[in-house]
Each structure stands twice: as structure tokens, then as C-alpha cells.
Copies of this chain bind each other. A is one copy, B any other.
């Protein structure tokens, strides 16, 4: 309460977690695996990787922290499910950034054309 801009700060840290989660090839592979083949457990996922189950659990937890996956217990196993919706935030940032870039390029082009110099 009384904290201005809390939402924006959260959005920033959300992007941190998202980009951070995606910055690791194992995590990207896990996420794509879950997206393509459906929910799976850390034990089975680790079987295909040169990693311990515990290491895979930590990677999956990073995905969960970024909002890109959820875990649900079913009997004695824990099934991880991909929830790629937050990728939309990444996409938003990319689009916004490239828009700003394009606008600047346009401004520069206009300026050059206005001065009628080396523009072809």
C-alpha cells in the first residue's frame, strides 16, 4: 500500500524471470518438451538428459517461478505442465522495443530527407 508503480516494478521483475528462465538451453528444451509432448514428471524428463533429477527439478522450478509451467501432484508423482501464456509479455516487450527503434530510424530518415543531403 502506498507504493507507487508497484505494478510496473512487478512487470520488470516478471520480464527478468522470463528472460532469465529462457536464457538456459536446458530450460528452453524442457519447456518445448512439455509444450510438444504434454505434461511430464521430473524423473522421466531427467531420463533423456545428462542431468540429475534434482537438477531438472530446479530448472522446472525456474520455469514455474517465471509462470511458464505449473506442477501438480498426482499420486506419488508430480506432473509439470507448460503454461506458455506469459511468453506474450516477452513478445510485447520485443514488439514495443522494435517499434521504438523503427520510429527512431524513421525520424532520422525524415531528418536526412528534410535536409536533402546524402539521402538517396
Contacts and interface: CB of A to CB of B under 8 A. Distances in A.
A32 interface: yes
Interface string A27-44: 010011001101000000
A35 to B, nearest CB: 5
A97 B35 contact: yes
A15 B36 contact: no
The DSSP consensus for interface residues of chain A is: helix
Interface of A: 12-13, 15-16, 19-20, 22-25, 28, 31-32, 35-36, 38, 82, 84, 87, 90-91, 93-94, 97-98, 100-101, 104
21 contacts: A12-B25, A13-B25, A15-B28, A16-B24, A16-B25, A19-B22, A20-B23, A22-B23, A23-B23, A32-B97, A32-B100, A35-B97, A35-B100, A35-B101, A36-B100, A84-B101, A87-B94, A87-B98, A90-B90, A90-B94, A94-B94
